[in-house]
Amino acid sequence: MKKIGLFGGSFDPIHKAHVEIAMCAIEQLQLDEVQFIPTRHNPWKNQSCANAKERLHMIHLAIQGNDKLTVNTIELDDDQNQKNYTIHTLEKIIEKHPNNKYYYIMGMDQANAFDKWKKAKKISNLVQLVAFQRGGYEPLLDVLNQYHFLVLNNRPVYASSSDVRQGHIEMLNPHVLRYISSQGLYLETMVASRMKEKRWKHTCSVAQLAKKIAKANHLNEKQAYIAGIMHDVAKEMDQKEATVIMQNYFPEYISKPYPIWHQWLSRYVSEHEFLIEDPIILKAIEDHTTASVDISLIGKCLYVADKLDPLRGYDSSKQIELCKKDINAGFRDSLIDFYEFSKKKNREIDDCFYEIYDYFVVKGEK
């Protein structure tokens, strides 16, 4: 007979505390294994932010290298388009392997409300219920005793998947974070905490526009979207912190005007904090304000999307249509528009712009 822990949830996404709790249960209850059971349809939630395939992949990334942690896809494999209830899942598991002893693991918030679960008494008769400590939730002893819960002696868990989706990326395994960033999952809400609401709305608008322009030009939509979401992620960074990063990583640009530092700083945050590795995305972020003579097609999509964002308050629809028809023509048009507008308003133009303008407009891109 094996002692198997069962840990169900949306895992949207899985974070470090999920794995720590599983290992704590193995140690304290002498379990042979803990199976993560990602739900297909959580009865307590209306929708997930990541699809089943993505959530499953993140779980595998989080537990790789640990042979006592596994994944049970019983709920994901259910092709019935109905909400999953734990009682049905447990009945299927026990029917398939009746000789094992099962321990069903949940947070104290769920344990306190266990009397509201479908067929709660029957569940408590089928398996040993286990609760782990969660910050902010004092145990309701009457409920725990009624259903014969065991309580893990763990440090209270404050992490949650919703916190991760709101930007607490420090809660993630690096492999999981790298996957999330590469797929563009949760990024809109993750960057929201780093900027004021107006800039966040602009960021989301730019990302969607860059994606549409890339699609119209048969380019990689995901690269354009991710670059768009991340392009202003460091624009509201503390100036002292920004200066240190510029000195250490981009000293050749530290003499540039402070308002354009954010294109390099945003590249830094994308690469070193969000673990984005795609050089096309990183270069597009770095080029989105000033452009460059070696700007990529995805970089051009981001550059024009940032300049032509409808939320800027002027009618840019004709220019956007030009960009969708031909990104190279639309990019040149944006350079010309910036040059003429700056001259009209007597605004100072950075020296690097003239090299770019000469390359793409005066001489014409080869």
pLDDT of residue 364: 74
- Return the CATH fold of 3-159: Rossmann fold (3.40.50)
Indicate the angle between helix axes 221-230 and 279-287, nearest 10 degrees.
Answer: 50
pLDDT of residue 41: 58
Q: What would the two tokens of residue 71 be?
A: 């994944």
> Which runs of E-coded beta strand occur in 287-360?
none
In the chain, how long is the greatest CA-to-CA distance? 81
pLDDT of residue 349: 74
Give me the half-sphere count of Cα atoms (radius 13 Å) on the Cβ side of residue 95: 7
CB neighbour burial string for 103-122, b if at least 16 within 10 angstroms, e if fewer = bbbbbbebbbebeebeebee
pLDDT tens track for 247-269: 999 999 999 989 999 999 999 99
Q: What is the DSSP letter of 157?
A: B
Number of CB atoms found within 10 A of residue 244's CB: 11
Pairing assessment for the beta strands 101-107 and 69-71 based on DSSP bridges: unpaired
Sequence ranges of the domains in the chain: 3-159, 198-362
Cis omega (within 30 of 0) on the bond before 98? no
130 forms beta bridges with 105, 150
All residue ranges of the chain with pLDDT < 70 are: 41-48, 81-82, 365-366
Q: Which superfamily does 198-362 belong to?
A: Hypothetical protein af1432 (1.10.3210.10)
pLDDT of residue 86: 93
Q: Alpha-carbon distance 20 to 66, whole Å?
A: 12
pLDDT of residue 95: 93
Number of CB atoms found within 10 A of residue 33's CB: 17
Q: Alpha-carbon distance 355 to 366, whole Å?
A: 15
pLDDT of residue 152: 97
